[in-house]
Structure 1
Amino acid sequence: MKLKSLSLSVLAALSLGVATSAMAADATTSTTAPAQTAPSYDQSGFWVGGALGMGYVSNSDISKFPGSANGEAPSVKLDAGYDFNQYFGIYGSYDYMHDLGNADMHLATLGVKGNLPLTQKLSAFGKLGATYIYADNKNFANNTLHMKSDSFSPTAGLGLSYQITHALSTQIGADYYQDLRTSHGHADLTQAYWGMTYKFGQPATPMVVTNNVEVVKEVAVEAQVPTRSSYVLPYQNGQTKLNDYGRYNLGEVIATMQANPEVNAQIIGRADKVGSAKINEKVSAERAANVANYLEANGIDASRLTVSSVGYNNPLKTDTSTKTNYVQRSVQIILK
């Protein structure tokens, strides 16, 4: 069991590392309960993937694999499936394990897969299925070392998935195969793996705002009247810090307010409908505060700023024909 415990410890450490990095990058976590969030685009569709891993048996079962000195076998996984939505899908996989008990293992699995979003990029998944196992025995001179040529096994799996882009994700996980038939009795097999998946038909990355945002040419503001009275500064999912587009527009806001001391600014932080109300309020408040801090750092007195946040309450009116409403993830500035 030392080998199994060590492998599970490594897997747990990798899981914790991915989870920690993902939550820090998203800036959408809670110390009491992780928010279950989902992207604002359609996540259904076909996907394909591949992984490298290691199959192993416990110390109590090593005696049933006399051709394998330590009960381990390197593995390769190919899988594909279809997600009906962000929570549920079906999958099929082929796994090859090299030289386990004097046999190369071929495993074909069909099953269902459940997905639980933890943040906007990190999710946990679970799998249940049935596996057909074919053993390509190498030592025909001594049948006592053989795996049974073919058998069936119930299969379960757990893992973590981190979304790198809309289409590309990386996973770490472990699959468990119960009651493999050997000439020495039944044995259980575990496979730990790391891999990548690609989902077809997803939006382009990075997400570029192309609608509902007015882009202004960079010109010096010399007039004594405001050139614009309203600004909308969009953000990526989970982003609260100012981006280049936001700083560009705030430069115009600063110039206008410095040229017009009687002009004040109303700053409203917003979020889209992804995530819980608590997380959305936190993200929208941080966005609004960061904008206000930037204006104050560039010479605008705090008494001229009114700062508020609304989360996804009272969303901006946009073109309803588009599924993805990027403009809701924004800070709205109204000069008056």
Structure 2
Amino acid sequence: MHKLTYLDALRGYAILGVILTHTTRKFHGDISEALYQFGIQGSRGVQLFFIVSAFTLFYSLEKHSASRQFSIPDFYIKRFFRIAPMFYFALLFYIIFDLVSDALGIYSSYPEVSIHLLLSTITFTSVLHPDWLFSLVPGGWSISNEFLFYLCIPFLFYWIRTPRIAFIFVVVSILGSIALHSVLGSTSPFSEVTSYLFYWFPNQLSIFLMGIALFFVGKKYKFSLFAYRSFTALSILFILILGITPYDMSSLMPKHVLFGLTFCLLALGLSGAPNRILDNRLIQFIGTISFSIYLVHFFVLDIVNYVLLDTLTSSMTAMNALLIIFLTYIAYINLICICHISLNRITRNPIGQICDSKTRF
């Protein structure tokens, strides 16, 4: 487990899935139902991010703290400055863009600025209450969950030391989430915001714990080359099956849990049997700038749709229009992120170093 390039590849697939989701939603009813279902479930890329994040955190902590002791203040300071500067810049950007887009007549679905949304966004607590869920940074719910997970790290790092304990934590977390969903799903204020119980931290905790379990499985167990390749092949098959089945993020056994288990199988397969097709330099590069892409992709989507959507859908088939918008979307995002990386390298200032292209979440 010394070569971890496959983790960058997984991040790359995760962000491409998120982009595919937001591209596909514009074509509901215009493309086949199976393709639509597969496209919108690219949003499960967020769960893949969570798994990779938890894995890398435990990998790093184990590597640099043989005694399983580490400085909690240092840990929180480092995690804060790997995410917060870029996030706060995105917050300022989206507030300004929302004002400009209104003036230009560009449709955007960003919420109105309020003191509650502003404070919950700044403090990364947007998933703690239904009214705060849709933060002033689009997609901020996932980053809020990430920060809440950081708060759990000292406890988890102390208690989870074997695959068996990790599995117990995963199972208990899943059962606890199901129980909370059953009890709270129809009560106020949880019932007032659609699918809030999907987004909130107790429902996502099991996914982070799967990443920890993956780390301990990879650390303790070694499999044959055939087994690793079988893990990869089976995971791809399961992703396709899960992808074309109806989208439902509020069922009793949420599909994101099944996706999480499948992503763990994929990661395990790639860790033991490198695959040049799935783990190539292009997808690795996309993975290294995935956080930057995540922060800007909503803005890019609004711009690309404003410029191209009506023109393309009126002159060609929906499938071709979707493909062109998706590829334009990716090219535009990568151009922005490459410029961001180049600026950091030129300036080489402290903020640039903190917000470099390898920022993870």
**TM-score of the superposition, structure 2-length normalised?**
0.21
**Higher relative contact order by CA 8 Å / sep ≥ 6: 1 or 2?**
2
Larger Rg: 1
